[in-house]
Structure 1
């Protein structure tokens, strides 16, 4: 086995300050152990092609099969090197990446090179691929590889957040041309990457088995086999953990089950505030186009009290589209505490002293949720009658994507602040073209987020992001309702189940 050690780390080792067992690559030292980890997978798998993948549970599989030029630190969410050892840019317009040498593809496809990156990105951009993530790479102007381990990407416009675009997530995950071609129309079920695990077998009705990639550039993982059992019901999954049938629950979303498992002594692996849940308010509606009405709704609902009553472990209150752990998060944006009297005053000023009907699009499968019951009650106290329009899930998704609603809901799982701000606030993404279901278009905010993404000077960049958040939370096209916490309960002997801010686990770090 070969270890690649930086000169800085080598110097530390010589000083005797760090033992081998504390190195980041320490899992490789235990690779001889043939351990297996049984993990609950909570839905039917939908495939693992990075160009078309969706849903968090599938993304957890892909995250451990593939790699990106960059990745995310499991604890902090900060960008870290992955297939690229280093990079530089002077203007956020031209990016030069220096790639790792000797990285091996799974299943005997040889060594990773810059050509694989260029192929992967071109594949996402190809209309024939029909990738929903093509827009993320649309800013790329040219790509060239002066040698197999150097990649130069020139953008059409400066983008200070480009390292998120090339990270190990969706369009940033690198595939192998020969493997894609060999898979044909079965590509989503035959993923081949450079990550710590490869797909060994799959039964879409019951089981997914991953085996460790012995040639992984960081060294083989401590756990030899990841055995995912498909258990859809949360209560059934909790019983399976208590009976010793599984080692880890991928997601437990029932408050009562969490408390039972906690009292039974299981580990409560979790990440807090990974995403905001929003109430999307369609500004093309004649009532909601008045900002006073939107602000009145914000003051009328006590989300802190709702969260405490329903799911104090699984939820928190949200005050922004961005999360507090994001580097560009600003504390200076307006917030809306519970204040029914202020809500009534704003409604009267807007001409709705006697209230109005607020129609909310939902799914018949989910029914009327506890949170919606609370919202109905709170809004009624200021004269707003909230009516639910429940449709089947495909219709819900179709109408929400078209912007065909008065209000709807959406979760914002994203680690890249630009992805949130541009996807939900930029006029080029107004539904049905993109995720801007609020149909929000503010020229000042648009100019601000465009300038922020292009700005190379850190202090000025932070000022621009703060300004953008202030505008967005004043205009309130989206009302942040709750923040989501993610729990993966496990047996006490399972260690380092660190859930990142994309609700993913890097299983290369997990030990048992």
Structure 2
């Protein structure tokens, strides 16, 4: 009897007419840091911004395989109509695109319209939202938007979402027109920011209120299935996603891109059914999870191979033989990113613009042994940074050399002596020029890798007679404090979101103090230079302004640029179609998973 049942089951599996459920394709990844929210106006951290562009969609996107980068329509029906002075941008939204189903819509399909993009930008201007991206939006100078925000600040009235400022108009159901106070030749890249400017439906925001960060509803390829804070995020295929097929435009001589296109062209997006993201904060568990096949790859932003294990995984830049036997692929890339240490310019100890305050920050920077950091802590996986501008963007010059890249404790000591930072009470530590105690307080996180950075910083500061204390907290909490101006010194990283190097200068722009400008640096001369740079087309005149901006940043030292990181990506052969993106975070819908190969390898 048992044999009969077994035979019947075997025949059922084998018979071509019997319907079979295909195995679920789950892409398994990991982050080193927890996400904070999935509401685009409330985020600025890398990890949350890696989730949101898979749920929300901007009008445009970057071609996944194109090198150099190419911007293409996503929800737009075509490229924008742009006025000759780059101040008026008119875009038509493609009809027939719908938001993912949600109880808020009461069983009705909700079509995407031009008004949704207007609403999404207006949300950033609403004072009640305390939007993290407002300073960025303000820098774009949409006509009348800042004035609209200020009116509500002055009147203390609820924000009026029904009236549209001059710079943000819906001409009809599907047509959006944006007017800028100043020319912006690179505004198309702004319209490709799905992470921050993807369309949000007004009725969803109003229904969920202050819980909107837990209920993201967009038009993108995935929707949020579950979120265990600090532990796990699961996205699932959006069943209402429109028919969209894989297509890309790699260069004719791009062998890697052409090979990926040949495998993937014509597949319906998203290709995988789910994406599971585990939060694994420590390096060793992260590496072990990869070796055990619990994640499909250590990839891209937020979860590449930990520096402590690069030598094991890719000694000499080649995949280790034991891993190569498993078909594991590896690639190393100098990132379009930067690690920085910032000084709170409003802090009474390290802040300020007077010569003695500038001297203190520059002395701290000169005492930081970045070469040792790269060799010992980062295991060689970085190159020294000379400025805030990152590789691969306009304004970056690999031949530019500055004090920002120097390690010179002798000069640091001389600066401190010259400006009166002496040990006046005989306790072995330098004091402030007025004789009061000088104590540096550096914010940090509890992970092992951060303890290594802290010990090196402590040693470097002790070498020049400066006393250091540390304020430990989880990364999301430290970010909140940083935005509120409550941290004195903190180290963190930043990645480019596009090809324009000016985005790296937002952190020095006075208008964005408390936003991207965590240092709260405010210098009218720099702001004037920044504004001039914004309206110029790319070319020699603009490059000259980049050089001047870099010199100002080095002179005042609100940030100590430390390194541009080298990322080591490694992935299993069952992950198909992966290529490290240059400036953007959305790619999960563009890869495939061979479930049978994965299961066979794990038996």
Q: Do both share a fold (TM > 0.5)?
A: yes
Residues 95 and 37 from structure 1, CA distance in 2 versus in 1: closer, same or farther, beyond 3 angstroms?
Answer: same
Supply the distance in 2 between the matched residues of 1:299 and 1:163 (Cα, whole angstroms). 39
TM-score (norm 1): 0.80
Residues 358 and 485 from structure 1, CA distance in 2 versus in 1: closer, same or farther, beyond 3 angstroms?
Answer: farther
State the match for 1:144 in structure 2.
169
Supply the distance in 1 between the matched residues of 2:419 and 2:94 (Cα, whole angstroms). 60
Structure 1 regions of 5+ residues with no counterpart? 1-31
- Give the secondary-structure state (helix, strand or coil) at the position aligned to 1:415: coil
Q: CA deviation at 1:153?
A: 0.5
State the match for 1:280 in structure 2.
342
State the match for 1:242 in structure 2.
291
State the match for 1:322 in structure 2.
389
1:304 aligns with 2:371: yes
- Give the secondary-structure state (helix, strand or coil) at the position aligned to 1:140: coil
Q: CA RMSD in A?
A: 3.5
**Which structure shows the bigger proportion of residues in strand conformation?**
1
Residues 229 and 341 from structure 1, CA distance in 2 versus in 1: closer, same or farther, beyond 3 angstroms?
Answer: closer
- Give the secondary-structure state (helix, strand or coil) at the position aligned to 1:71: strand
Q: CA deviation at 1:325?
A: 0.9
Query: What CA deviation, in whole Å up to 9, does each residue of 1:242-261 have, x standing for no partner?
Result: 33343234614633344444
Supply the distance in 1 between the matched residues of 2:344 and 2:228 (Cα, whole angstroms). 42
Residues 33 and 91 from structure 1, CA distance in 2 versus in 1: closer, same or farther, beyond 3 angstroms?
Answer: farther
Q: Give the number of the structure whose alpha-carbon radius of gyration is greater.
A: 2
Q: CA deviation at 1:112?
A: 3.0
1:256 aligns with 2:249: no
State the match for 1:440 in structure 2.
521
Supply the distance in 2 between the matched residues of 1:178 and 1:283 (Cα, whole angstroms). 41
1:420 aligns with 2:504: yes
1:68 aligns with 2:58: yes
Supply the distance in 1 between the matched residues of 2:227 and 2:408 (Cα, whole angstroms). 52
1:118 aligns with 2:118: yes
Residues 344 and 73 from structure 1, CA distance in 2 versus in 1: closer, same or farther, beyond 3 angstroms?
Answer: farther
Q: CA deviation at 1:494?
A: 1.4
Residues 286 and 128 from structure 1, CA distance in 2 versus in 1: closer, same or farther, beyond 3 angstroms?
Answer: closer
Supply the distance in 2 between the matched residues of 1:182 and 1:287 (Cα, whole angstroms). 45
1:408 aligns with 2:526: no
Supply the distance in 2 between the matched residues of 1:348 and 1:414 (Cα, whole angstroms). 38
Supply the distance in 2 between the matched residues of 1:122 and 1:508 (Cα, whole angstroms). 28
Aligned length: 477
Q: CA deviation at 1:231?
A: 4.6
User: 1:52-451 to 2 correspondence within 5 Å?
Assistant: 52-74=42-64, 78=69, 80-81=71-72, 82-84=74-76, 85-87=78-80, 88-107=82-101, 109-138=109-138, 139-141=141-143, 142-181=167-206, 186-200=211-225, 206=232, 208-211=234-237, 214-218=241-245, 220-221=268-269, 223-232=271-280, 233-249=282-298, 251-252=303-304, 254-262=306-314, 263=320, 264-265=323-324, 266-268=328-330, 271-283=333-345, 285=348, 289-290=354-355, 291-312=358-379, 314-330=381-397, 331-332=399-400, 334-335=402-403, 336-352=405-421, 357=438, 359-363=440-444, 365-366=446-447, 369-381=451-463, 383-393=464-474, 396-397=478-479, 399-415=481-497, 417-422=501-506, 424-430=507-513, 433-451=514-532
Q: CA deviation at 1:200?
A: 4.5
Supply the distance in 2 between the matched residues of 1:349 and 1:324 (Cα, whole angstroms). 36
